[in-house]
DNA sequence: CGGTCATGTGACCGATCAGTCACATTTTAT
DNA sequence: ATAAAATGTGACTGATCGGTCACATGACCG
């Protein structure tokens, strides 16, 4: 965790420094990100940075926690639309899908940083707070259990397993969207955000949700 | 690509060197993997290695291509069981799921290296041959089109989209299995392979396939 | 003023890295 | 045997890295 000196910093200086740090660790993975480059860009001495944080990993952990908070906040305001209790499971899932993409669009550096955190070296990953991925799985599972109890979803699925499957589908949504737009998910790493308007996204969500709800077998098949 | 000198190497020396290189690049990502460490372990001079490959990336690209070939070979022998033409789509999908896990178990370093290749720096990724990921998607899509034509699967899904969804599900299978076994996919990165016998895996495949085929809605729901 | 304490500083350290090159050694051809 | 070509070698280069520390600067308080 940051040293007390960091908290005493003028808010403005602290914010601009963290913005640059976020940029550095979003653009490069943990091993490649450079503290030297960061302090050069920030115009402070390297010694100063080490008055704020114990080491590189300490800074990284702090940035990841901040980014998760930022994204979670965005997710909650975006996903709050629609009646959270009245809507069914599939409606809420659609809301989450949409909100996740919108949040990642609004905060690309934060989203990228969290991706980086997942593939950080083990000794760094151990110092991270419990990942938000686990929180998402748990949240998803509780939604599933609820929907199973209400009869909206088949009750004989293992909620934990399905939660992981849905998480996998949601994390695979990026390539799905890119493929639909004609990009190559292997080569290109980003899509111009102006291409991602609801007119494109909604039909994709429709089809994905139909898959989740109905599966692949033909509608005429007997139960 | 490797220099001619590399091809002239005695097969045994070439193989043992490549085994050590595979280990190095499987254990560390591209930025962290060290040519110096590799040549030390291999007991050859650094200059020698640079008689075989132009640079670090050249070696990496070669290793990835080899690993993909190894895994593809394992996949084909494993997945070849069962009548490839007579079986339906879902049977073949199950075969692929099983074979993918078995292949990754039999060749853990190769599987890890290919993971690393996906997250290599862009300038390195550009030098890789077309990823096998794209091949898998294409293969999956052709299977889907076929199954749609035969009426086994609903015809009004976009095969490209569904292919990506299935690819996401298959790549999410790891955490699913780990969760079922009581491991934490965030903390632990590996599961003892002896825990992965068919008795554990088959019920998981059953449930995943039912999800893919029938979706989440209750069986009693009207069409 | 003077003294104390927090903060800022950047030259410096040891380590490591990818890649080179002048030279030694070995293999092949003549 | 000798020349020529191929291969092996490791000290070296220049760069970068994360992290330290002796010291300078400034703020606050008596």
- Between CA A8 and C1' D28 the distance (Å) reads 15
pLDDT band per the 50, 70, 90 thresholds, residue B77: confident
Do the domain assignments include residue B185?
yes
- Report the C-alpha gap between A181 and A169 in whole angstroms: 18
Is A6 strand, coil or helix? helix
Q: How many CB atoms lie within 10 A of CB A14?
A: 15
Cα dihedral value B13, B17, B19, B24, nearest 10: 170
Q: Tokens representing A193?
A: 């955000």
Q: Please tell me the predicted confidence (pLDDT) of residue A219.
A: 82
- Report the C-alpha gap between B197 and B201 in whole angstroms: 6
Task: Give chain A's length.
Answer: 223
Of B160, B169, B157, B197, nearest in space to B181 by CA: B197
Q: Please tell me the predicted confidence (pLDDT) of residue A143.
A: 94
Do the domain assignments include residue B7?
no
What value does the CA radius of gyration of chain A take, rounded to a whole number of Å?
Answer: 21
- Report the C-alpha gap between B138 and A57 in whole angstroms: 40
Q: Please tell me the predicted confidence (pLDDT) of residue A85.
A: 59
- Report the C-alpha gap between A209 and A126 in whole angstroms: 35
- Between CA A41 and C1' D1 the distance (Å) reads 66
Do the domain assignments include residue B186?
yes
- Report the C-alpha gap between A178 and A167 in whole angstroms: 18
Q: Please tell me the predicted confidence (pLDDT) of residue A22.
A: 98
Nearest residue of chain A to residue B126 (CA atoms): A187
Q: Are B46 and B36 within 8 A, CB to CB?
A: yes
Do the domain assignments include residue B209?
yes
- Between CA B75 and C1' D6 the distance (Å) reads 40
Do the domain assignments include residue B221?
no
Q: Which pLDDT tens digit goes with each residue over B25-59?
A: 999 999 999 999 999 999 999 999 999 999 999 99
Q: Which nucleotide is nearest to A49 (CA to C1')?
A: C8
- Report the C-alpha gap between B216 and A212 in whole angstroms: 6
Q: Tokens representing A77?
A: 């305001």
Q: Tokens representing B39?
A: 């040549």
Q: Please tell me the predicted confidence (pLDDT) of residue B216.
A: 93
Do the domain assignments include residue B43?
no
Q: Which residues of B83-106 are buried (b: 16+ CB within 10 A; e: fewer)?
A: eeeeeebbebbbbbbbbbbbbbee
Q: Tokens representing A11?
A: 């808010």
Degrees, nearest 5: CA angle B178-B179-B185? 65
CATH number, domain of B109, equals: 1.10.357.10
The number of domains in chain B is 1
Of A63, A70, A73, A35, nearest in space to A128 by CA: A63
A contact test, residue of B29, B94, B164 with most A CBs within 10 A: B164
Q: Tokens representing A155?
A: 């009750």
- SS3 of A36-90: HHHHHHHCCCHHHHHHHCCCHHHHHHHHHHHHHHHHHHHHHHHHCCCCCCCCCHH
Q: Which pLDDT tens digit goes with each residue over B166-207?
A: 999 998 998 899 988 888 877 677 777 777 788 889 999 999
Whether the beta carbon of B34 falls within 7 A of nucleic chain C: the reply is yes
Alpha helices in chain A (DSSP H): 4-8, 11-27, 35-42, 46-52, 56-79, 89-106, 108-118, 122-125, 132-149, 159-171, 173-180, 198-214
Do the domain assignments include residue B21?
no
Q: Diameter of chain B by CA atoms?
A: 71
pLDDT band per the 50, 70, 90 thresholds, residue B208: very high
Do the domain assignments include residue B41?
no
Q: Which pLDDT tens digit goes with each residue over B116-149?
A: 999 999 999 999 987 778 888 999 999 999 999 9
- Report the C-alpha gap between A82 and B61 in whole angstroms: 49
Residue labelled with tokens 């599972």: A141
CB–CB of B211 and A162 under 8 A? yes
Quick one: average pLDDT of A178-198? 79
- Report the C-alpha gap between A15 and A6 in whole angstroms: 11
Q: Tokens representing A164?
A: 């992981």
Q: Which nucleotides of C are covered by protein (CB under 7 A)?
A: 6-12, 16-22
Question: Residue B91 sits in which domain range?
Answer: 64-214
Predicted complex ipTM: 0.88
At a CB cut-off of 8 Å and minimum separation 6, what does B155 contact?
A218, B148, B149
Q: Please tell me the predicted confidence (pLDDT) of residue B85.
A: 59
Q: Tokens representing A36?
A: 């030297």
Whether the beta carbon of A46 falls within 7 A of nucleic chain C: the reply is yes
Is B155 strand, coil or helix? coil
Of B138, B203, B204, nearest in space to B166 by CA: B138
Distance from B171 to chain A by nearest Cα, in Å?
8
């Amino acid at each position: 965790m940051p040293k007390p000196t960091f908290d005493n910093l003028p808010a403005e200086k602290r914010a601009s420094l963290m913005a640059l740090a976020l940029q550095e660790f979003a653009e490069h993975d943990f091993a490649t990100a450079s503290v030297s480059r960061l302090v050069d860009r920030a115009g402070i001495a390297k010694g100063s940075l080490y008055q704020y944080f114990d080491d590189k990993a300490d800074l990284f952990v702090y940035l990841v926690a901040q980014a998760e908070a930022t994204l979670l906040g965005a997710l909650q305001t975006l996903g709050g639309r629609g009646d959270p209790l009245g809507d069914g499971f599939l409606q809420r899932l659609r809301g989450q899908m949409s909100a996740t993409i919108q949040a990642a669009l609004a905060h690309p550096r934060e989203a990228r940083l969290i991706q980086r955190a997942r593939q950080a070296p083990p000794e760094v990953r151990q110092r991270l707070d419990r990942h938000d991925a686990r929180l998402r799985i748990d949240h998803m599972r509780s939604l599933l259990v609820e929907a199973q109890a209400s009869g909206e979803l088949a009750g004989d699925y293992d909620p934990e397993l399905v939660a992981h499957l849905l998480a996998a589908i949601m994390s695979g949504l990026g390539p799905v969207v890119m493929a639909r737009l004609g990009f190559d998910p292997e080569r290109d790493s980003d899509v111009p955000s102006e291409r991602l308007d609801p007119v494109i996204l909604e039909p994709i969500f429709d089809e994905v949700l139909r898959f989740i709800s109905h599966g692949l077998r033909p509608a005429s098949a007997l139960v």
